[in-house]
C-alpha cells in the first residue's frame, strides 16, 4: 500500500502511556500547522474516514502492516487535532518494545498513512490545504527511522534537547531487553542524533568564534548551561 499512501509525522504528542493496561493515548495529527511539505491539515479532514471506516483504521508499529498493535478504542477530532486512545496493544515483542520506548521517553512521535481526497492551494498561506483524507493507519515511529518518514523533529531541537535524547537512548541500550529489530532502530536513531548534535555544535561554536565587525549584531557570550551542553556532546564523540 506504500505506493498510494502519504505519511506525515508530528513530534511530542504523547498524552499518556499505561504499560500495565498496554494503552497509549495522544494525537496522530495536528490541525492548522504548516508542515515541512508545505501542507496544512484542517479540522474535518478525518471526519468522513472516522464515520465510514473507523474499524478498518489500524494502529501500526513503524508503518509496518505486518506489525499491527491493534485498533483504536477512541479516534476523534478535537480542536487540536486527531486524538486517539488505543485498545490494549496485543501481546507481541514489537508492541512490548514500543511500550518500553514510550515509557523511556524515546518514543515521542506519531505518523499517519493516508490518501488525500480533497485539497486546494492557498496563496495567502503559501500552503496546500488538506480538507479531506482517506485514513488507513496511525503509527508510532522512533525518530523517523522508517525510510518513509524522515524525522523532521530534530530540526527544531536545541543542542541540549538533542543531548538529552541521546542520553535516553544510550540508557535504553544499557538497560533494555529489546528485540534485535528495535535495537537496530535505536542505533539508527543514535546516528541521526549524533549527526544533528554535530551540526548544532558546529553552529554554536562558529557563532561564538566569528569575529565581530561594526555591521554585525553584538553576540553575547554563551551561558554556562550552553557551554556544558556543548562539552557533554563533545565527550560522546
| Mean pLDDT value of segment 72-85 | 95
Other beta carbons within 10 angstroms of residue 219's beta carbon come to: 10
Q: Determine the Cα–Cα distance for residues 41 and 122; give it in Å rounded to an integer.
A: 12
% the chain with pLDDT above 90: 44
On whether the CB atoms of residues 38 and 8 are closer than 8 A, the answer is no
Tens-digit pLDDT profile for residues 206-226 = 665 655 454 444 444 555 665
Decide which of 77 and 185 is more confident: 77
- Which is it for the CA torsion 39, 116, 46, 17, positive or negative? negative
Measured CA to CA in angstroms, residue 36 lies from 32, 33, 111, 122 at distances of 13, 10, 14, 16
What pLDDT sits at residue 214?
43
Tens-digit pLDDT profile for residues 85-142 = 999 999 999 999 999 999 888 888 888 999 999 999 999 999 999 999 999 999 998 7
* Displacement of CA 63 from its chain's centroid (Å): 13
Q: What is the DSSP letter of 218?
A: P
What pLDDT sits at residue 236?
54
What pLDDT sits at residue 90?
95
| Mean pLDDT value of segment 45-55 | 95
Q: Determine the Cα–Cα distance for residues 210 and 56; give it in Å rounded to an integer.
A: 56
Residues facing residue 138 across a β-bridge: 59, 112
Measured CA to CA in angstroms, residue 206 lies from 27, 46, 202, 212, 234 at distances of 38, 45, 6, 12, 15
Asked if pLDDT for residue 3 goes beyond 60, the answer is no
**What length is written for the chain?**
237
On whether the CB atoms of residues 62 and 143 are closer than 8 A, the answer is no
Q: Are strands 127-141 and 58-61 parallel, antiparallel or unpaired?
A: parallel
**SS3 (DSSP) at 25:** strand
The phi and psi torsions of 143 (rounded to 5 degrees) equal 50, 35
What pLDDT sits at residue 69?
97
Asked if pLDDT for residue 10 goes beyond 60, the answer is yes
What pLDDT sits at residue 218?
40
Residues facing residue 26 across a β-bridge: 14, 84
* Nearest CA-CA partner of 153 in 5, 6, 8: 8
Amino acid at each position: 500500500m506504500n505506493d498510494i499512501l502519504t505519511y506525515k509525522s508530528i513530534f511530542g504528542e504523547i498524552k499518556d502511556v499505561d504499560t500495565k493496561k498496554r494503552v497509549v493515548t495522544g494525537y496522530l495529527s495536528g490541525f492548522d500547522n504548516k508542515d515541512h511539505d508545505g501542507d496544512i491539515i484542517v479540522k474535518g479532514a478525518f471526519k468522513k474516514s472516522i464515520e465510514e471506516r473507523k474499524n478498518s483504521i489500524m494502529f501500526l508499529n513503524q508503518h509496518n502492516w505486518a506489525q499491527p498493535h491493534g485498533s483504536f478504542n477512541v479516534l476523534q477530532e478535537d480542536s487540536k487535532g486527531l486524538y486517539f486512545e488505543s485498545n490494549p496493544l496485543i501481546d507481541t515483542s514489537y508492541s512490548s518494545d514500543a511500550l518500553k520506548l514510550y515509557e523511556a521517553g524515546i518514543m515521542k512521535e506519531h505518523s499517519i498513512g493516508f490518501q488525500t481526497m480533497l485539497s486546494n492551494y492557498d496563496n495567502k498561506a503559501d500552503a496546500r490545504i488538506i480538507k479531506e483524507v482517506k485514513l488507513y493507519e496511525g503509527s508510532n515511529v522512533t525518530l523517523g527511522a522508517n525510510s518513509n518518514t524522515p524525522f523532521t523533529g530534530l530540526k527544531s531541537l536545541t543542542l541540549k534537547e538533542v543531548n538529552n535524547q541521546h542520553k535516553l537512548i544510550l540508557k535504553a541500550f544499557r538497560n533494555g531487553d529489546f528485540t534485535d529489530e528495535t535495537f537496530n532502530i535505536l542505533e539508527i536513531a543514535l546516528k541521526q542524533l549524533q549527526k544533528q548534535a554535530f551540526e548544532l555544535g558546529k553552529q554554536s561554536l562558529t557563532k561564538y568564534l566569528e569575529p565581530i565587525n561594526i555591521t554585525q549584531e553584538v553576540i553575547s557570550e554563551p551561558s554556562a548551561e550552553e557551554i556544558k551542553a556543548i562539552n557533554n556532546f563533545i565527550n560522546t564523540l
